[in-house]
Amino acid sequence: MLQPNDVITKAAQSADIVINAANVDHLGAVITLVTALEHSGKLLIHTSGSSVVADHADGAYGAEPLAEDDFFEPVPFRRARVDMNRYVRQAAIDKGIRTIVICPSMIYGEGKGAQVNSDQIPKLIDIAKHIGAGPYFGAGLNRYSNVYIDDLIDLYILAIEKAPGGSFFFAENGSNSFIEIAKMISNYLGLDGKITDLTVEHVINDYGEGARLGVTSNSMVKSINARLFGWHPHGPSLEKYLENKQVS
């Protein structure tokens, strides 16, 4: 009986291009993929996430955008993800694989495959439906960069076509504070702009440290490398997207 690692290995070795977008923090899967493709020269794209640059602002504003080549010190909870990104990129030198890391910011828009919803925005909408107001956390002044899903797909296609091994790309096309997002969601749901603050302790207790970094921190990035390669995001802003989205 094939074990999960055997299934991943067989699938990777039979593919021309491998894109890992299943779990950004599953070290075992990443090691298996790199091992399977060693010295093949094939393309492996690993999907990360911009909370690698998140902080512990807990609703306060306090971040300047970071570009791909800027130095930063991750919070301890995200150290493993940063190390994984470096491992994948280093495999371009040590393992003979054309490895690329793409690091999206907050994604919005509907997916085209089995997983239709992204992470933060749909969950915030669900909370708003439950409490009858757009939620924000602490002061709600913390900001996250964001990217429309179709623009993100364009970046993957561009990376496949042009990017050399070892490349690292942030994906963003703007940013919003969480109090702004709360108002957008409230208007989208027809709640007349009603918003409310939830405590950081509530987030940690109910959803864990990962959620804390996802909604109470600042995660501000700049897609310098992507734009240098010719990436031109053209999708609607988060505000325009929610204005035109039908309530489901």
Q: Taking residues 212-221, report their average pLDDT.
A: 95
Strands 175-177 and 143-148: antiparallel
CA angle 100, 104, 110 (to 5 degrees): 120
Q: Please state the length of the chain.
A: 248
**For the ranges 72-76, 198-202, 207-211, the one whose mean pLDDT is highest:** 72-76
Q: Is the pLDDT of residue 140 over 80?
A: yes
Q: Where are the alpha helices (DSSP H) in the chain?
A: 4-14, 27-37, 79-94, 120-131, 149-162, 178-188, 200-207, 209-215, 224-228, 238-244
CATH topology of domain 4-236: Rossmann fold (3.40.50)
pLDDT over threshold 90, residue 1: no
Name which residue leads in pLDDT, 220 or 22: 220
Averaged pLDDT for residues 138-165: 97
Strands 167-171 and 66-67: unpaired
DSSP 3-state percent helix, strand, coil across the chain (nearest 5):
45, 20, 40
Q: What is the mean pLDDT of residues 221-225?
A: 97
* pLDDT in the model for residue 7: 94
Residue 208 has pLDDT above 80, yes or no: yes
Paired tokens of 220: 């501000």
pLDDT at position 115 is 76
Strand partners, 137: 198
Task: Using the predicted structure, report yes or no on whether residue 202 has a pLDDT greater than 90.
Answer: no
Q: How many CA atoms lie within 13 A of 85 on its CB side?
A: 23
Which tokens go with 18? 């491998």
Mean pLDDT of 185-191: 97
Mean per-residue pLDDT of the chain: 94
Contact 107, 12 (CB under 8 A): no
Q: For 20-58, how does the pLDDT look when each residue is reduced to its tens digit (9 = 90+)? A: 998 899 999 999 999 999 999 999 999 999 999 999 999
Amino acid 198: pLDDT = 93
Interval 142-152: pLDDT, tens:
999 999 999 99
- The Cβ of residue 136 has, within 10 Å, a number of other Cβ atoms equal to 25
Model pLDDT for residues 62-121, shown as the tens digit of each residue = 878 999 999 999 999 999 999 999 999 999 999 999 999 999 999 999 987 777 778 899
Report whether pLDDT(209) > 90: no
Smallest Cα–Cα separation from 22: which of 51, 49, 1, 53? 49
pTM: 0.94
